Chains A and B, each alone.
Chain A
Amino acid sequence: MSALLQFDDVTLGYDRHPAVHHLSGKVDAGELLAVLGPNGAGKSTLFKGVVGLLAPLTGRIELHGLRRADIAYLPQAADIDRSFPISLYDLVAMGLWRATGLFGSIGRNERHKVEHAIAAVGLTGFEERPIGTLSVGQMQRALFARLLLQDARVLVLDEPFNAVDSKTIADLVVLVQRWHGEHRTVIAALHDLELVRDHFPQTLLLAREPVAWGVTRDVLTADNLLKARRMCEAFDDDAEACRVDAA
């Protein structure tokens, strides 16, 4: 297997303060990777770096043969204006962007795909509902339908199962498994250890510093989890410049 994403001593952060500190490693094509860690551990920051919304302070994130449109990103707090008057159908259809671009028409073939994606997340019958009337779980299902249409090689999911009931999680995990079966690369930030153990072969345990990265059962040891929990969340305003770089 070849590395699709490569992290070379990557430090990501804000105003010089590191949120992800000296991360090195790689993600292979077709990998199903869980990123685990307490709040403030740098999971979202890492994902922003991967999708190109945040440039590393130091180090490099290499995307081997990937274009922007090859990576589908589901942010943790999608800043979707839910008061905007469009239907669930139109929201899902946005996922066709890579195929249609600015002007490409949505013909019978595309409409069929949209209906198929909506059916796959169990929202058939909700097509014409304004997005402002959807519940949190329905919205997450709709965003997964949009991800389905994006047909991306890499899917980056930031806490996709937050505030979602167990039935919805079970349905959406099936989709994640399906992507894995289609040899797509899936990286997801999660908090549920059981879910990770059951469904994600690879795990990165992150607590600003990478605590462990590898096969899930080797990573999720009591020792490692304790280490991750001890990390300190607050930035230190008086912190010295990092010495690792100077060395």
Chain B
Amino acid sequence: MLRQSLLAPLTDEALRRAFIGASAIALGSGPVGVFLMLRRMALMGDTMTHAILPGVAVGFLIAGVDSVAMTIGGLVAGVIVAVLTGIVTRTTHLKEDASLAGFFLIALALGVVILSVGGGDDEIVHVLFGDVAALDGPKLVLIAVVASISLVVLALIWRPLVLECVDPQFLRSVSGAGGPVHIAFLALVVLNLVAAFPVMGTLLAVGLMMLPAVAARFWARDITSMAVVSVGIGIVSAYVGLAAAAALNAKPGPAVILVAGGIYVGSILFGRVGGVVWRAFPGRHLEA
């Protein structure tokens, strides 16, 4: 029985799809999450999940639950909020968090109003928490496309993105790439959240983005290895979480996020880079 559950993400059809989908999400989301964390925008992903809600709701009203229209709607709403936020941040004296807060609250309220007018409680739960069984072929393809786009775009903008984080003034003095790169990055955040929400639900879509990233901070010293570690943690969380969900008959999405959360707490305690245990017992100081 236990053995069956352990292998379930490989043998069970629905769970296998979920594992493949979640792993693909982890590929794109992990590095994006690392950059969000390093730019002190860790809560921004969470905010963006609220921002996609009106688009999801409109898609749901037009084409019903489980539709690709919901995903596309989410994408449109997310991109609109991200671009508006970027423009307001760069052209007014409002900082990013403030301008985002303004837009996401409008979006969230709008989304709930649309859902409450057009749908019932079941649909709301479905949208908020996701459904692994709903992961059909077209959605898997969408997730794969998003993961591919994320990796390619990250590879293209990696250098200016790092520069924009470390020394934005220097980037401005040598190149005008800062603005476009920033907006491309925000678009990646939205894309990855939209890809994740059918599996994880809008509430937890940000889980595979931020938890592996913040956990990776305790295992790696430079940005590149941090991104790689975050992807690994994401994939391991997906597998273990889905197996646990099969064994306990629990909801798979939250189970995956809980496992990622467990790895995060473990990393705080035992992580080689700044973990609590290593800080408590640092060893004798060195000669030089």
- Which A positions have Cβ atoms within 8 angstroms of B? 51, 53, 68-69, 71-73, 75, 78-81, 84-87, 90-91, 94, 97-98, 101-103, 130-131, 146, 150
Contact = CB atoms under 8 A, between A and B. Distances in A.
Contact of A78 (B160, B169, B221): B169
Given A84-B223, A86-B223, A130-B221, A68 B174 contact: yes
Given A85-B223, A98-B174, A102-B177, A75 B169 contact: yes
A97 B165 contact: no
B164 to A, nearest CB: 10
In terms of DSSP, what is the predominant structure of the interface of chain B? helix
A152 B171 CA distance: 15
Nearest to B172: A53
Given A69-B174, A86-B166, A103-B159, 9 more contacts: A68-B174, A69-B175, A72-B173, A80-B166, A80-B170, A81-B38, A84-B38, A85-B222, A86-B223
A79 B173 contact: no
B151 to A, nearest CB: 16
B106 interface: no
Given A86-B222, A102-B159, A80 B167 contact: yes
B157 to A, nearest CB: 8
A144 to B, nearest CB: 13
Contacts of B173: 51, 53, 68, 71-73
A86 B174 contact: no
The 9 closest A-B CB pairs, nearest first, are A97-B174, A84-B166, A73-B173, A80-B167, A85-B222, A85-B223, A79-B169, A81-B166, A84-B165
Chain B residues touching A, range: 20 to 34
Contacts of A102: 156-157, 159-160, 175, 177
Nearest to A83: B38
B203 interface: no
Contacts of A87: 222
B271 to A, nearest CB: 14
Interface string B201-222: 0000000000000000000111
In terms of DSSP, what is the predominant structure of the interface of chain A? mixed
B162 interface: yes
B179 interface: no
B159 to A, nearest CB: 6
Contacts of B165: 81, 84
A162 B172 CA distance: 23
Nearest to A101: B175
B273 to A, nearest CB: 9
Interface string B146-189: 00000000001101101101111110111101000000000000
26 contacts: A53-B169, A68-B174, A69-B174, A73-B169, A78-B169, A78-B170, A79-B167, A81-B38, A81-B167, A84-B162, A85-B220, A85-B222, A85-B226, A86-B162, A86-B223, A87-B222, A90-B162, A91-B166, A94-B163, A94-B166, A94-B167, A97-B174, A97-B175, A98-B174, A103-B159, A130-B221
Contacts of B222: 85-87, 130
Contacts of A91: 166-167
Interface in B40-79: none
A228 B169 CA distance: 30
B162 A103 contact: no
Contacts of B175: 68-69, 97, 101-102
A45 to B, nearest CB: 15
A35 B48 CA distance: 47
B156 A85 contact: no
B275 to A, nearest CB: 16
Contacts of B174: 68-69, 97-98, 150
Contact of B221 (A69, A85, A103): A85
Of A75, A78, A94, the most chain B CB neighbours within 10 A belong to A94
A79 B172 contact: no
B168 A79 contact: yes
B244 to A, nearest CB: 32
A152 to B, nearest CB: 9
